[in-house]
Amino acid sequence: MARFQLKSSRVLQAHLAGDTARAITGAMVAYEGDISFKSTGIGGSGGLGAAVKRRMTGESLQLMDMKGSGVVYLAKGAMEIQLVQLAGDKLSVESSSLLALDTDLRTDVAFAGLRGASSGQGLFTTTVSGNGTVALLSDGPMIALEVSPQYPLVVDPDAFIAHRGQVTQTFITDISWRNVIGEDSGEAFSLRFDGSGVVYIQPAER
């Protein structure tokens, strides 16, 4: 299996020894050795079903396969990178926050509820499941917040990156007459998480 390693907080190394790793298209900044890059097509690693869903939902995720032997350096927009290990569980992630993943992991599209309609994040989210490593992008150092049944969590949709575990996500609104006259607090829409798991956010709003 390809090995991911952080070279610095903003640059990810993917070590390849004749095997394959996957990253979003255009994320390579440099490589050493003999590597070829090939688009996986619109389905990504999810097969035809995911391809059709992506077409219909507009939750676009352009991935490429990197194959060969050597080291590939990956980075995007000088954003900070965090590695997340998956052990058979599922990670729901904004497609714009995904940088790279192991080829053993499957990607799919899931309905994320009625958030996004206003936040511009879209109604659908990308899910990654299986065993392996995912590299996430964060504008600033990523923050992992724990959700437990006693302590539900509310985050800004524009700062949300990903969540994992047994978490249900609901979209809450706080609209009153103040919004109408423009005297609102700017936090009219929020994401609420109940259950137990982890929510990852970034210290910046998209």
Partner 1 sequence: MPGFEMVNSKVVKVRLGSPVIARRGAMLGYTGDVRFVPHGVPGGAGAGGLGGLAGGLARRMAGEHEATMEATGQGEVWYGFRGSHVTIVDIAPGQVMLVEADRLLCHDVTLQASTAFIGQGGMRAAVSGMMSGQGLFTTQLSGQGSAVLLSHGETFSLPIDQSRNVAVDPQAYVAALGQVKVEVSAKVGWREAVGKGSGEAIQLRCTGSGTVFVQASEEKL
- Greatest CA separation for the chain: 61
Strand partners, 93: 126, 162
What is the smallest separation between the CB atom of 100 and partner 1, expressed in angstroms? 13
- Give the containing element (helix H, strand E) for 52: helix 47-57
- Based on the shown chain and the rule CB under 8 A, indicate whether residue 96 belongs to the binding site for partner 1: no
List the one residue out of 125, 119, 139, 25 whose CA is nearest residue 72.
25
d(CA 122, CA 118): 8
- State which residue, 107 or 190, has the beta carbon closest to partner 1: 107
List the one residue out of 42, 41, 3, 40 whose CA is nearest residue 19.
3
- Based on the shown chain and the rule CB under 8 A, indicate whether residue 78 belongs to the binding site for partner 1: yes
74 touches 14 (CB < 8 A): yes
Determine how many CB atoms are found less than 10 A away from the CB of residue 199: 23
Contact flags string 38-77 toward partner 1, x per CB under 8 A: xx-xx-------------------x-xx----x--x-xxx
What is the smallest separation between the CB atom of 9 and partner 1, expressed in angstroms? 8
- Based on the shown chain and the rule CB under 8 A, indicate whether residue 206 belongs to the binding site for partner 1: no
- State which residue, 4 or 171, has the beta carbon closest to partner 1: 4
- State which residue, 73 or 194, has the beta carbon closest to partner 1: 73
Tell me how many residues contact partner 1 (CB under 8 A): 29
What is the smallest separation between the CB atom of 44 and partner 1, expressed in angstroms? 12
What is the smallest separation between the CB atom of 155 and partner 1, expressed in angstroms? 25
d(CA 196, CA 203): 22
Contact flags string 2-41 toward partner 1, x per CB under 8 A: -----xx-xx-------------xxxxxxxxxx--xxx-x
Beta-carbon contacts of 48 under 8 Å, excluding residues fewer than 6 positions away, are none
Beta pairing class for 143-147 and 189-201: antiparallel
- Which residues in the 157-196 window bind partner 1 by CB under 8 A? none
Chain residues binding partner 1 by CB under 8 A are: 7-8, 10-11, 25-34, 37-39, 41-42, 62, 64-65, 70, 73, 75-79
